[in-house]
C-alpha cells in the first residue's frame, strides 16, 4: 500500500458546485462564476468531474466545456477535498478509500456529503473501500515516498476519533504504507474552521520539499504561531519554501483564512489561489515557480471561495491514473 503524492499522474479533478441550499446562496452567482474560472483554468491541463444537485447550474456555467462531465448528486457543502475519495496505490492498482466525514467535528450537517462517494463511484471503475475512521483529505499530506504530514490540533482533537497518536499512527501505517509521520503542533490561520488542516499550512511540493505558510509582519496574529511551525519544519530535514500570507482580507468584518498553501496539483501545472494582493500574490507565485521550474504555476482568484473559509485545494479532489 502506498499513499500517492498529489503531483503524480491524474485522471481528473472532482469539484462539488455551490448551490442554493448551501451557505453560498447569498452570492451564488458570484460563487458559480468563481468556480467557472477555476474549472476553465484546470481544464487547460486535464478533465474535471462536477457534482451538484442542480443540473441547470451546470448547463448554464459549464456545459460548453468538453472536458467537464456532470454527476447529479445532492450535497451539504462544496468542500469535496474533505469528503471525497482518497486514492492509494496497491500492487500497481488504485484503491479508493471512503472515510467517515463529520463536518470538521460535527460543526455542520454532513449527512449528504458523507454519502457522496458511494453514489459517485457507481459511475467509475475500481474498488471503493469504506474505512471506519473520521478523516478529511485536507488534514493529511503525503510525499509519495513514505512520509505523511498532519497537525495535532486536527487529528488529535476530541471532535474527530478520540484515538491516541499511537493508535492513529498504527492505522495510518496500515492504510497508507507510511513509515514517517510529521506531526505539526504549531501554526494556525485565523478564520479556519477545520481545526488547522495541514493543507492551509504546509504542503509537500516534491519528495524532499515542503512549501509552508509564513508571516513577515511581526504585528500580525499569525507571526509567532507560524514562526513556531517554521522552527518545527526546519527540524524535519526537508527543503523549505516559505509562502508569506497576504495582508488581512475581511468579509462582513471577519478576517478570512487566506493562505497560498491551499494550491492544487494538476497534470503539468500547479493552480495557486490569489487574493487581490499584488505584492503577496506575486511573491507566492514567484517562489513556487522557482521551486517547480518544470510546472506551469498559474494563479486563480480565490476571493469569493475564501468567504466560506476554503480555497482551491479545499474545493477539489484528485483522482489518480492507475490500473483499476
Nine-digit cell string for 183: 506531526
Q: What is the pLDDT along the chain (324 residues), one digit of tens a residue?
A: 999 999 999 999 999 999 999 999 999 999 999 999 999 999 999 999 999 999 999 999 998 999 999 999 999 999 999 999 999 999 889 999 999 999 999 999 999 999 999 999 999 998 999 999 999 999 999 999 999 999 999 999 999 999 999 999 999 999 999 999 999 999 999 999 999 999 999 999 999 999 999 999 999 999 999 999 999 999 999 999 999 999 999 999 999 999 999 999 999 999 999 999 999 999 999 999 999 999 999 999 999 999 999 999 999 999 999 865
> How much is the pLDDT for 322?
83
CB 24 within 8 A of CB 222: no
> How much is the pLDDT for 251?
96
The rounded distance, in Å, linking the Cα atoms of 129 and 95 is 7
Pick the CATH number of 2-320 from 3.75.10.10, 3.30.420.40, 3.30.70.260, 3.30.230.10: 3.75.10.10
Q: What share of the chain is helix, strand, coil (3-state, %, to 5)?
A: 30, 30, 40
CA-based angle 287:290:296, to the nearest 5?
A: 100
> How much is the pLDDT for 94?
95
Nearest to 322 by CA among 129, 126, 172, 143: 126
The rounded distance, in Å, linking the Cα atoms of 266 and 99 is 23
Amino acid at each position: 500500500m502506498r499513499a500517492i503524492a498529489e503531483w503524480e499522474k491524474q485522471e481528473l479533478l472532482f469539484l462539488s458546485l455551490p448551490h442554493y441550499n448551501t451557505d453560498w446562496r447569498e452570492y451564488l452567482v458570484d460563487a458559480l462564476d468563481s468556480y467557472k474560472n477555476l474549472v476553465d483554468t484546470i481544464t487547460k491541463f486535464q478533465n474535471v468531474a462536477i457534482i451538484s444537485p442542480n443540473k441547470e447550474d451546470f448547463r448554464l456555467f459549464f456545459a460548453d466545456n468538453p472536458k467537464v462531465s456532470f454527476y447529479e448528486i445532492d450535497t451539504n457543502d462544496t468542500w469535496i477535498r474533505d469528503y471525497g475519495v482518497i486514492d492509494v496505490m496497491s500492487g500497481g492498482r488504485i484503491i479508493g478509500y471512503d472515510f467517515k466525514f463529520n463536518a470538521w467535528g460535527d460543526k455542520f450537517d454532513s449527512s449528504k456529503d458523507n454519502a457522496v462517494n458511494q453514489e459517485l463511484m457507481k459511475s467509475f471503475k475500481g474498488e471503493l473501500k469504506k474505512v471506519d475512521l473520521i478523516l478529511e483529505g485536507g488534514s493529511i499530506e503525503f510525499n509519495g515516498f513514505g512520509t505523511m504530514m498532519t497537525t495535532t490540533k486536527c487529528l488529535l482533537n476530541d471532535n474527530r476519533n478520540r484515538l491516541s497518536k499511537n493508535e492513529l499512527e498504527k492505522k495510518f501505517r496500515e492504510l497508507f504504507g507510511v513509515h514517517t509521520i510529521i506531526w505539526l503542533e504549531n501554526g494556525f490561520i485565523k478564520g479556519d474552521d477545520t481545526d488547522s488542516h495541514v493543507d492551509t499550512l504546509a504542503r509537500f511540493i516534491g519528495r524532499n520539499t515542503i512549501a509552508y505558510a509564513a508571516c513577515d509582519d511581526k504585528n500580525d496574529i499569525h507571526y509567532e504561531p507560524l514562526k513556531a511551525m517554521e522552527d518545527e519544519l526546519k527540524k524535519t530535514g526537508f527543503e523549505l519554501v516559505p509562502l508569506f500570507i497576504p495582508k488581512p482580507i475581511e468579509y462582513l468584518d471577519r478576517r478570512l483564512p487566506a493562505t497560498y498553501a491551499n494550491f492544487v496539483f494538476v497534470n503539468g501545472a500547479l493552480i495557486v489561489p490569489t487574493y487581490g494582493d499584488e505584492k503577496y500574490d506575486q511573491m507566492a507565485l514567484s517562489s513556487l515557480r522557482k521551486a517547480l521550474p518544470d510546472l506551469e504555476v498559474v494563479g486563480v482568484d480565490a476571493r469569493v471561495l475564501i468567504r466560506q473559509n476554503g480555497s482551491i485545494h479545499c474545493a477539489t479532489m484528485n483522482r489518480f491514473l492507475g490500473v483499476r
